[in-house]
Every structure is written in C-alpha cells, then in structure tokens.
Amino acid sequence: MRPLRYLAIFVGIVLPAAVLAHGPTRQKVTLSAEVAAPPEEVWAVIGNFQDMSWHPAVFATTGSGGNDIDATRVLTLGAEGGPTISEVLYKHDDAAMSYSYRITDVLVEVLPVTNYSSHLTVKPAGDGKSLVEWRGAFYRGYPNNDPPPELNDEAAIAAVTGIYQAGLDALVARFATN
C-alpha cells in the first residue's frame, strides 16, 4: 500500500476561530489520464458517488441519496477512524459520464482548501480507451492575507494535484492489469 499523499499534509496548526471568508484568489486544477478500457467500464467503476473505493486514499465511503442531486457521502481516509471529508453531489449525468460535487466539511489540516468543488468525467479516447478528467476549483486553506506556507495557494494546488494524480494512477493501473 502506497503512502497516502494527502495525509502527509497534516500540519497540526491551529487556526483562529472559524471564519466564512476565503482567500482572495480561487485556484483551479485539471488532471487527466488515458485508461485502457472503454468509457462504460471506467464509468461503472467511478460513476457511483457512494463508492469511492477506487481511490487508494479512501478507506470507506458512507452516504445517502445514491446518485441523486444533494446526495451526501463521508469519505474516511487511510484507515478506520481516519480523517474524514464530507461531500455533497450537485450534478450527476450517466449519459455524459460526469458528476460534480463539493466538500461541505473538511479540516484544513486534512486538505488545505476551502470552498472546494470538483468534477469527474469519462470521455472516449478511441481504440476502446478512455480519458478520465478530474477538475477542481477551490480557495487556499488560509482565509486571510499572508498565509503560512502550509496553507497558501501553492499548498492547496499541490494537495489537490496529489489526490487527483493518485486516483488517476490507480485507475490506469487497475485497467492496465486486466
């Protein structure tokens, strides 16, 4: 089992009282990978909002509402009792093989972002292959001016990129060994 990249983000700092404001500049990350299986097969693995077991960092997925709008899920990371990320589904389209969700609750010590939303899409890539695209939009973990390095824009981008890369790598490996 590979080390969990985003658990390495743990920084153990204490923020001032929770605030609603966010940093000044929203960031975006788009990663994609070609997977050696037809889109229908890949979507069958990743298209269920209630099952994120395909991602190596996710230990468990619990939730309700299936793939309906406003369905929720809680991802437990790493191991039983590990840190959690709460998410809500706001778009799901089996025909387009795409879903969109946002984080409703996560500690910045777990994932140093706020106002995070994300889209996962499978597209045909020809020759029976697929292109999986994962996009995220978010603000850094520190809502005010002059963020500490572990909660600045670069840290947020690095953390999200790490999650996406680990997930895409796992999908590439999963279908390559079939």
Partner 1 sequence: MRWWPGLRRTDGALLTVLPALVATSVAAGDLAFVTNQSSSDLSVLDLDKRSETARIPVPGQPAGVAVSADRGWVFTVSPETKTLRKFDLATGAELNATVLDGGPIGIALAPDGGRVFVSDWYNARIWVLDAAAMTVETMLTTGSAPAGLVVAPDGSWLASADRDADQVSVFDLASLTLRHAIPVGTRPFGLAVAPDGRLFSADVGSNTVTVADPVSGAVLASIGVGERPYGIAFAQGAGFVTNQYADTVSVFDLDDLSVSATIAVGEYPEGIDVTSDGGMVVVANWFSNTVSLIDAKTRTVSGEIATGDGPRAFGRFIAPADGRTE
- Does the protein bind partner 1 through residue 11 (CB under 8 A)? no
- Spatial contact of 26 and 138, defined as CB atoms under 8 Å apart: yes
- Does the protein bind partner 1 through residue 135 (CB under 8 A)? yes
One of 31, 45, 131, 137 touching partner 1 (CB under 8 A): 137
User: Segment contacting partner 1 (CB under 8 A): 16-24, 45-53, 120-128, 167-175?
Assistant: 16-24
Show Cβ contacts of residue 11 under 8 Å, excluding neighbours closer than 6 positions: 109, 112, 150, 151
- Does the protein bind partner 1 through residue 117 (CB under 8 A)? yes
Q: In 3-state terms, what secondary structure has residue 103?
A: strand
Write down the least CB distance from residue 116 to partner 1, Å: 12
Note every long-range contact of 81-88, with CB atoms under 8 Å and residues 24 or more positions apart, other chains counting.
82/7, 83/7, 83/107, 83/109, 83/110, 84/110, 85/110, 85/111
What is the C-alpha separation between 134 and 70, in angstroms, rounded? 20
User: Segment contacting partner 1 (CB under 8 A): 2-10, 26-34, 56-64, 75-83?
Assistant: 26-34
One of 28, 53, 62, 107 touching partner 1 (CB under 8 A): 28
User: Segment contacting partner 1 (CB under 8 A): 14-22, 79-87, 122-130, 169-177?
Assistant: 14-22
What is the C-alpha separation between 15 and 57, in angstroms, rounded? 25
- Spatial contact of 90 and 100, defined as CB atoms under 8 Å apart: yes
- Does the protein bind partner 1 through residue 17 (CB under 8 A)? no
Per rule CB under 8 A, count of chain residues that contact partner 1: 16
- Does the protein bind partner 1 through residue 20 (CB under 8 A)? yes
Of 54-83, binders to partner 1 (CB under 8 A) are none
Q: What are phi and psi of 129, to 5 degrees?
A: -110, 170
- Does the protein bind partner 1 through residue 149 (CB under 8 A)? no
What is the C-alpha separation between 134 and 168, in angstroms, rounded? 8
Interface ranges with partner 1 (CB under 8 A): 19-21, 24-28, 90, 100, 102, 117, 135, 137, 144-145
